[in-house]
Amino acid sequence: MSKVIRIGTRDSELALWQANTVKKQLEEQGYQTVLVPVKSMGDLVLDKPLHELGITGVFTKTLDVAMLKGEIDIAVHSMKDVPTVLPMGIVQAAVLERGNYMDILAFKNNEEFLAQKDAVIATGSLRRKAQWLNRYPTHTVVDLRGNVQTRAEKLENNNWNGAIFAAAGLERVGLEFENTIGLTWMVPAPAQGAVVVVALENDEFSRKACAELNHKETEICTTLERKFLNVLEGGCTAPIGALANIKDNNVSLKGVLLSVDGKKKIEVEFTSKLGKHENLAEACAERILSRGGKLLMGEIAGALVKPNIFSTKKLTPSQQALFNSNITADSEDFLQISLNRIPRLVLKSPIENVIITSQNAVEAILASSNPDELQFKNIYCVGRRTKKLIESRIGKVTHAENRAKKLADYLVEFMDGSKATYFCSNIRLDELPDLLKENNIELDEIEAYVTKQAPKKVSDSVEGVLFYSPSNVQSYIQENTSNVVAYCIGDTTADEAKKHFSKVKIAKIPTLESVIDLVNKDYK
């Protein structure tokens, strides 16, 4: 026993309590030990919720690296912080007897807010947030990070009704609040209240020393809870709870999965005989997944991943799939389109020259008249897709261009007659109408559809935005900053974007797919 076991630990008061507990128990067994405190990223970055850090094992990774580099022999963790799959070369060496696994609510004044519509509760845990909102859907939950003492101070200094803590953490640092409620209805995090020791797989001396500290009942329960978590493919970034208990030679496991907003909840509980419980976690997880959990996990992943690219037009799943794998794209329609009812008398009359610059105008015409009744002699349009839609639903296109300006130039030189009917929106560019009028071409403008701007605030994580029209740009800029790259479908859209954005890129072909290709080249 001549080797001194170097115990790695975070340097928070709670982590040091846990490490000192392991140190004391090892020394009682006759081993020599020394503590080696370090700071983890989870301790250093306190201005973001844990799920936004994007790192598995945010509290454990630093100690893992120190162990693999030979700077420490073992590491002590709150077991709920440890990823369900350990790094290669590191193994679980012991689980100490579990403490209080319950969540508790520390609150100010009195409990009346629990029955009120409006209340503010603080927690940095998605699991606690989701379960609280499931029970109290009208309450507001705010983020709370930091060590136990820091969180207690924030509760005192903010106008919140209460904050949620792990009971074991409070007990271990000796922190007592005047008013608390045990949240017996809240399913704890897998392995909450347990302390785990990990060691290098090839360090037989340290593993053998730690094995003497292992509490078998706690090991069985926490193994089931963490296996349940692993099968669901969740972590600290998903609202998952699990609790196993052993009683009268039976092992029970309760598991729960919720949506981030708490509106959806799937809960199961199975029991097996002790010794025949090996598949209990898988059975619970599979039941959750079969009752809608698989779909819910996909929704959770989508809700938590921060986009770096945004489209100002709603994308279809097939369009989303065109982005490179390192791109996370989100999309919303920044323009709302409503089709006008065009008088049938207008559409049934013979029209010599028809100008259409968008698919929306085509849809408005078709919604107002049977295609067989249309008497359009010459149809001129802008855009490849508009041309394709016209020829599949109405009739042959006489001539098409990719830009309104180019179409206007063509019409001035080659159009038969000096009069045309233009099916357009209430919001349209002046370029084409002005050029035609300057060249004495009479234009009968018919408002086929209404375009209404629908601005929305996008995530601060967005680095590039896809635009498809000048109106898209105008709508976006109302609620958002211009410190992103503007990816534009064509020159007209780019001209508007250049009024606001310093970085503007234009697709080679005026199609949505070409704009996505433009983005992919920047994110190879």
pLDDT value of position 49:
44
pLDDT tens for 80-91 read 989 888 889 999
Cβ-in-10-Å burial (0-12, 13-18, 19+) of 454 comes to: middle
What architecture is the 306-334+454-522 domain classified under in CATH? Answer: 3-Layer(aba) Sandwich (3.40)
Which residue of the set 81, 103, 203, 330 is catalytic?
81
The pLDDT value given to residue 58: 52
Q: Which of 81, 10, 8 is nearest to 44 (CA)?
A: 10
Q: What phi and psi values does residue 451 have, to the nearest 5 degrees?
A: -110, 125
Q: Give me the CATH code for the 336-453 domain, please.
A: 3.40.50.10090
- Per DSSP bridges, beta strands 464-467 and 485-488 are parallel
Fold of 216-235+248-304: Double Stranded RNA Binding Domain (3.30.160)
**pLDDT for the residue numbered 45:** 36
Alpha-carbon span 220 to 50, nearest angstrom: 28
Q: Which fold is adopted by the domain 1-97+191-214? A: D-Maltodextrin-Binding Protein; domain 2 (3.40.190)
| Residue-level pLDDT at 52 | 41
Active site residue 81: yes
Q: Is the CATH code 3.40.190.10 the one for domain 103-182?
A: yes
CB 270 within 8 A of CB 253: yes
Q: What are the 10-residue block averages of pLDDT along the chain, 524 residues in total?
A: 87 92 96 88 40 47 89 95 90 97 93 92 94 96 87 91 95 92 96 96 96 97 96 77 96 96 95 94 95 88 81 90 89 93 91 95 95 94 93 96 92 92 91 94 95 90 94 94 94 93 93 93 90
Q: Give the long-range contacts of residues 500-503, CB within 8 A, separation 24 or more.
A: 500/473
SS3 category, 18: helix
53 closest CA partner among 235, 294, 258: 235
Q: In what order do the strands lie in the sheet containing 329-331?
A: 329-331, 309-311, 464-467, 485-488, 503-506
Quote the DSSP letter at residue 112.
Answer: G
Write down the pLDDT at residue 243.
98
**Is it true that 103-182 and 336-453 share their CATH fold?**
no
Q: What is the pTM of this model?
A: 0.61
Each domain of the chain, given as residue ranges in start order, spans 1-97+191-214, 103-182, 216-235+248-304, 306-334+454-522, 336-453
Query: Quick one: three-class SS letters along 161-204?
Result: CEEEEEHHHHHHHCCCCCCEEECCCCCCCCCCCCEEEEEECCCH
- Quick one: pLDDT at residue 55? 35
Tell me how far apart the alpha carbons of residues 280 and 329 are, in angstroms, rounded to a whole number: 38
